[in-house]
Amino acid sequence: MNDKKNKKETKLTIHTTISEKANKLLEKYADLKDNNNNKIFGHKSKVIERALELLDQYYYPEKSDLQSIWNRARNELNMVLVGKKTYLSYISGDYKKALTENIAIDVLEWYKNENIVDMSLDELLDAIKNVWLSANYFYKIDFEVGSKGTYQMSFYHDFHSKRYSDFWGNYFSELLHNQKQCDVEIFARNESLILRITPPIV
């Protein structure tokens, strides 16, 4: 048996002063309850211990779990999430493989828990918006339905590169044409991309 696990942790008594505002926060979290109405922490000391753990992870991210590291890297370093097939296409020197071996299908089906064939165009576009925002490729994505049943999807990024917009324009055009038989017009700019999407006439 592991003696370290069985060894009771020594508790120390400390004396300090805090502001009234900080004390209200301590009381708030000491009384915080879960869905079963049970207190999560129960004591102010438990709240302080948990807060110190989070503070330690913040300043020393190597102590964090993998999900926390990714969350911080995305927000603080502006990093993006890249699928393996897409990444391999980049380093192979043939980025067009990312268009023909389109990882988007796997990602979108995983996100929706549904076969892409069974998704409506609205559902597919909404899934693209949510997945590509979460992967940090764009900081804003809008789409709207036109009066004649066409769609306009606008993507905004901070890569300051028309080539970046061109790549994603072709990427989504290939996906929408192959999976939903849509015609797609691409308008690429240094910091934005607009797709005008026309579904097939039924």
pLDDT at 65: 67
Rounded CA gap, 12 and 9, in Å? 10
Q: Mean pLDDT by 10-residue block, N- to C-terminus, for the chain (202 residues)? A: 57 85 89 85 86 75 64 76 73 73 83 93 94 92 88 96 93 94 96 96 76
pLDDT at 51: 85
Please give the C-alpha separations between residue 55 and each of 4, 45, 46, 50, in angstroms, as whole numbers: 24, 15, 14, 9
Q: Where are the domains of the chain?
A: 17-77, 102-198
pLDDT at 38: 86
CATH class of 102-198: alpha beta
